Amino acid sequence: MTIKFKYITFKQTGDERGSMTVIQGGDDVDFEIRRLFYIYATKGNVVRGKHANRNSKFMIACVAGSCKVLVDDGYIRKEYTLDKPFEGLYLDKMVWKDMYDFSEDSVLLVLSSEKYDPDEYIREYDQWKKEVTGGN
């Protein structure tokens, strides 16, 4: 069984002017980047996500502030705190994710391997779990 999510520390290319982190598709993430979006001004005690995607792979990084992400591949459930702009979470397709505890100043950057397609979303946890585990 291969683990379908991974915490990654990106290289920082800082100099005396400040810091920079570069994420190149195919190099720093194992997919070509077709979409980028970011989530910000998130209200307190909001839970976002609550879905899995059939086709999209993601790299998410909280580039300002902090938030927590619960990831679940059907066998392993793990909570991560994202609070550094140079750390990210790689999510393979079909990984379930919930995002919550957003700080007021948080900006959650999401890189995706696919363009937006509402039909690839699975929003029913039990249905998703059955699909990924084959009911086991």
Do 61 and 28 form a contact (C-beta atoms < 8 A)? no
14 is catalytic: no
Q: What is the dihedral of CA 135, 124, 69, 117, to 10 degrees?
A: 110
Q: Shortest distance, CB of residue 10 to ligand TYD, whole angstroms?
A: 22
User: Which strands form 58-64's sheet, in the order they lie side by side?
Assistant: 5-9, 87-91, 58-64, 107-112, 35-40
User: Among the options 50, 51, 84, 129, which is catalytic?
Assistant: 51
Residue 40 contacts ligand TYD per CB under 6 A: no
Point out which span in 14-22, 32-40, 58-66, 128-136 binds ligand TYD (CB under 6 A): 32-40
Residue 49 contacts ligand TYD per CB under 6 A: yes
| Residues contributing to the site for ligand TYD (CB under 6 A) | 35, 37, 39, 48-49, 116
